Structure 1
């Protein structure tokens, strides 16, 4: 099953690459991608898919296309194009870091390190956090962190390992600790966002930008937490992060519908037409497979998490994947971007496609994507 699904994903990615050239997929409301420039937070996932396909096939066409895109990431960083946000890791780990990891290209390594410096510039020492969106002092977002940022921290952890400079890891650790303290609730659910007073650093309270309401649990946010805390554990070996990943994973699994593919928010009313978020289940499957790697063979939950990762992926492959549909640009249907604002509540999500392919390659080959250096 996994091999067939990977080969279908490779064929679709190859077709997109041939048809759309150097353009990147942007989210669209109409069961398709809107292809355009590298100017959002999501482009790294597409370049990462090219590198995953190259890793799987050895086909130099994927390598050539991904490396051509790599020059655009250098242009974007040097000109500071639409980078006033924390998603630098999402952009540069699956692109520049992946290029260096798979080819040994030193210029790509340098680009990834420069991107880490850019992310480091979002550190706000008064509150000990990495600001999610907007410039320093931004009236609306200056004191805001979001759970998604956990997935950008590997760029900083790796930069510390690579340069020997502790500042990258120190800041990543402190931000992860703040995320654990303020974004993870006592019942193992999570806030999407949390606010601090910009001047004093005093914590203000949790909220949401994407979820059903401020106190609800946005499923993709919970997914970022499952995977992000597991990656923080990989880099730090801090048992608090491993336990956080476990807690969020238990909650995610316990609140899934029968087919193991999440609705967009765990607290949203389930009615006819309530949007799913297939990307949340794809991300969580990757997170569970990462978490399992850090659990002892005799750990009672290891088999439990393994089984639920398998169920999520089986459901995605059998009921959500576009296998056999030669007109489809995306790999899995029924992802949601922002149901709250009506922005693509039911369409293809390029991060959903990326994590779906990553999870398949974890299942089939044990290859875990581009969030750390060694396999």
Structure 2
């Protein structure tokens, strides 16, 4: 067993440090979730993957249903940072230098992104998941340099007339190019700007991130706090033209992973700004998601797909939200609400671990994620970002179980 300290968690002694300094104590119920066993599973599966994938400069992205081999992509793919990020998490979990070595190897594949013009908003996903975790764990100054350069590159997509970062600087269906488009996924990339502004980069990067979060909060959500996947703005006036979907069921539906990005994103923005309006908003976008979940806590790919319960699930959204809830609970001063967030996160991790693991199918960690159903792409696949957020949630949970703050993934300084 690579992780040799089993963590037995008693929820009654589950102490979280809230943003106001108040201690929150979970309800008194014994929890039999063995987080070390699940992390050991991640080690075993990822070791299998390393033995299978070719050593040719490419990075694993997904495995099709009933397949056993990874589909590989190059460093320009938006998912390219999640594989090295997963390896960094395993280094953190095990303290085994073999994981550091391979994490560094795959991280280096992404270095050209820091010196190339921005062709997409996903630089945060790509470079922060890889170089960000690498710097957090090693303090390698070369990693820091890449992060700062990449933040400046991402900033070139910011349109001050709109107040957000352009997501797709190209013609994408229904986005009315060359007007300005912003997608909900982009919330996650703000973390790179926040970090850079506090670690040697321009203060303007912080201001850009705050502006993006505020403009998105005002324009990207319906009255019930469900999210549009994309909003199109007039690039000259900043006026909202329309809210639409690209990967969801319809323009008016709640696409599961889009809402997950909102939950994760606004929790992070509150952490970085300490502005209570972002915390309040994180609670609101979380509430509608939790209230509409099926009993097993794993969402269908879109909450409004009329084919439910015969439509595909999205394990990736569940993993993202499980991780986000563990952090959001820390900032929650209402004990009952904080307890609910932690209990729901635990329920998600239990369900993913019991019924979504890939162990008898392939070398990924999880099955049953949905990438882009309207395009017929990655439906019921194993997808690398589901694995990444699953490990992140497990590590955050383990820290809480040990009486520590949860893992704040990108709090690097």
Q: What TM-score do you get using the length of structure 1 for normalisation?
A: 0.93
8 Å CA contact 1:127–1:201 kept in 2: the answer is yes
3-state DSSP class of the match of 1:340? helix
Corresponding residue for residue 344 of structure 1 = 378
3-state DSSP class of the match of 1:347? strand
Structure 1 residue 9 corresponds to structure 2 residue 45: no
Corresponding residue for residue 99 of structure 1 = 134
Structure 1 residue 319 corresponds to structure 2 residue 355: yes
Q: Choose 186-195 or 131-140, whichever is displaced more.
A: 131-140
3-state DSSP class of the match of 2:135? helix
What are the equivalent positions in structure 2 for 1:229-268 lying under 5 Å apart?
Answer: 229-268=266-305
Structure 1's 236 and 329: CA in aligned 2 closer, same or farther, altered over 3 A?
same
1:169 to partner: Cα distance: 0.4
C-alpha distance in 2 between matches for 1:142 and 1:68: 39
3-state DSSP class of the match of 2:241? strand
Aligned residues: 369
1:84 to partner: Cα distance: 1.0
C-alpha distance in 1 between matches for 2:194 and 2:110: 20
Aligned to 1:291, which of 305, 328, 351?
Answer: 328
8 Å CA contact 2:181–2:231 kept in 1: the answer is yes
C-alpha distance in 2 between matches for 1:336 and 1:60: 33
Q: Deviations over 1:282-340 (max 9, x none)?
A: 101111111111123x53311111111111111111111124x2x51211111000111
Corresponding residue for residue 148 of structure 1 = 185
Structure 2: gaps (5+ residues) = 1-33, 401-405
3-state DSSP class of the match of 2:336? coil
Structure 1 residue 52 corresponds to structure 2 residue 86: no
Aligned to 1:310, which of 339, 342, 346?
Answer: 346
The two structures, once aligned, show a CA RMSD in angstroms of 1.9
More strand by share: 2
Corresponding residue for residue 7 of structure 2 = none
8 Å CA contact 2:221–2:227 kept in 1: the answer is yes
8 Å CA contact 1:47–1:69 kept in 2: the answer is yes
8 Å CA contact 1:134–1:142 kept in 2: the answer is no
1:79 to partner: Cα distance: 4.2
What are the equivalent positions in structure 2 for 1:1-375 lying under 5 Å apart?
Answer: 1-20=34-53, 21=55, 22-30=57-65, 31-32=67-68, 33-80=70-117, 83-135=118-170, 140=177, 142-163=179-200, 165-271=202-308, 273-296=310-333, 298-323=334-359, 325=360, 328-366=362-400, 367-368=406-407, 370-373=409-412
8 Å CA contact 1:136–1:142 kept in 2: the answer is no
1:179 to partner: Cα distance: 1.0
8 Å CA contact 2:366–2:386 kept in 1: the answer is yes
1:345 to partner: Cα distance: 1.2
Q: What TM-score do you get using the length of structure 2 for normalisation?
A: 0.85
8 Å CA contact 1:358–1:369 kept in 2: the answer is no
